[in-house]
């Protein structure tokens, strides 16, 4: 090839490259969503789907992963203000069912930003529904199906472990103990659900919801263990809990059996719920050697 032809070819390539670049620049560029995520499970699912970089703000229950905790905080999920949520200029709001107050949610729904409500729930089916709902909202259905398959495998492994346990220790979940009165988790609560998943008997199942426990009722329930949350300002240690009249004379106090797990991990009912239940079961079935669940990229980070 002579010099003239080489120059002609180089010029042609340069012209075509320039035309291609101008054509690409002329095409409308996809706008990446700016997501406000309200609800710890919603946030965990978004990050597990690889959408964490699209999240611009979260609520106070979004404690995992660490990247979520570094984002702007729009407030407590049930006490949001429309100004706080809209101040980060979202183009999509994903909110767990129950987020509020209702007046705020009504204002947000009237705004020009799409609001998607993710159904809540505290069992395997509910967790899978959350994953599907979040994946559909962000157009990541295939990743959502893959994540749901992994979580289903984890639930199946947990179920096999729990069925093999020889006994169901009686445990009570304590939400708070301000003023010397313990608020415990009765039936139809997330606490009741995680105790059952872990192969435990909820000693306070006779009451419904999260309610103060009468001292006599708590003592007569004879819990063998107390389960509490940690993180988010929670300070419920064994000395504090077992000094309460409700628990002072129980087998749990006698044996100093108190288990503390991060709140969003324990009661979040997101993708890591089988792991939380497995860890709780391992802590309160010390004689059983429960295997670890398979390692997943979305659960590898240590919790708080």
Q: CA-to-CA distance for 48 and 208, rounded, in angstroms?
A: 33
Contact 20, 26 (CB under 8 A): no
Q: Which of 295, 201, 196 is nearest to 252 (CA)?
A: 201
pLDDT at 303: 82
Q: Please, is 203 exposed, middle or buried when counting C-beta atoms within 10 Å of its C-beta (0-12, 13-18, 19+)?
A: buried
pLDDT at 233: 67
Q: Considering all CA atoms of the chain, what is the largest pairwise distance in Å, rounded to the nearest integer?
A: 101
Q: CA-to-CA distance for 230 and 238, rounded, in angstroms?
A: 12
Contact 191, 205 (CB under 8 A): no
Residue 105 burial (CB count, 10 A):
20
pLDDT at 12: 40
pLDDT at 5: 54
Supply 103's token pair.
């007046």
Q: CA-to-CA distance for 113 and 287, rounded, in angstroms?
A: 53
Q: CA-to-CA distance for 291 and 286, rounded, in angstroms?
A: 13
Contact 61, 39 (CB under 8 A): yes
pLDDT in tens, the chain (304 residues): 555 555 554 454 444 344 334 544 555 555 789 999 999 999 999 999 999 999 999 999 999 999 999 999 999 999 999 999 999 999 999 999 999 999 999 999 999 899 999 999 999 999 999 999 999 999 999 999 999 999 999 999 999 999 999 999 999 999 998 888 899 999 999 999 999 999 999 999 999 999 998 888 888 899 999 999 998 666 789 999 999 999 998 999 999 999 999 999 999 999 999 999 999 999 999 889 899 999 999 999 988 6
Contact 36, 58 (CB under 8 A): yes
Q: Identify the sign of the CA torsion 189, 246, 198, 41.
A: positive
- To 5 degrees, how large is the angle CA 183–CA 187–CA 192? 80
pLDDT at 17: 40
């Amino acid at each position: 090839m002579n010099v003239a032809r080489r120059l002609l070819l180089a010029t042609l390539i340069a012209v075509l490259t320039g035309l291609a670049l101008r054509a690409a620049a002329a095409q409308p560029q996809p706008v990446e969503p700016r997501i406000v995520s309200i609800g710890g499970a919603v946030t965990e699912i978004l990050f597990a789907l690889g959408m964490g970089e699209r999240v611009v703000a979260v609520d106070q229950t979004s404690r995992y992963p660490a990247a979520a905790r570094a984002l702007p905080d729009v407030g407590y999920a049930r006490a949001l203000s429309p100004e706080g949520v809209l101040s980060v200029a979202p183009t999509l709001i994903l909110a767990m069912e129950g987020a509020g107050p209702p007046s705020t949610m009504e204002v947000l729904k009237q705004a020009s930003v799409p609001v998607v409500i993710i159904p809540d729930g505290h069992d395997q089916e509910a967790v899978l529904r959350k994953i599907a709902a979040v994946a559909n909202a962000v157009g990541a259905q295939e990743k959502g199906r893959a994540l749901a398959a992994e979580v289903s495998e984890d639930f199946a492994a947990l179920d096999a472990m729990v069925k093999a346990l020889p006994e169901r220790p009686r445990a009570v979940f304590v939400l708070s103990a301000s003023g010397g009165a313990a608020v415990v988790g009765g039936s139809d609560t997330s606490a009741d659900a995680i105790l059952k998943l872990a192969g435990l008997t909820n000693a306070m199942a006779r009451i419904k919801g999260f309610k103060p426990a009468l001292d006599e009722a708590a003592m007569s329930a004879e819990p063998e263990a107390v389960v509490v949350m940690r993180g988010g300002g929670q300070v419920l240690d064994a000395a504090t809990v077992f000094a309460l009249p409700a628990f002072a004379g129980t087998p749990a106090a006698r044996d100093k059996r108190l288990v503390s797990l991060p709140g969003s991990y324990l009661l979040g009912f997101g993708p890591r719920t089988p792991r939380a239940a497995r860890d709780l079961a391992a802590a309160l079935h010390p004689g059983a050697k429960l295997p670890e669940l398979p390692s997943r990229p979305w659960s590898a980070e240590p919790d708080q």
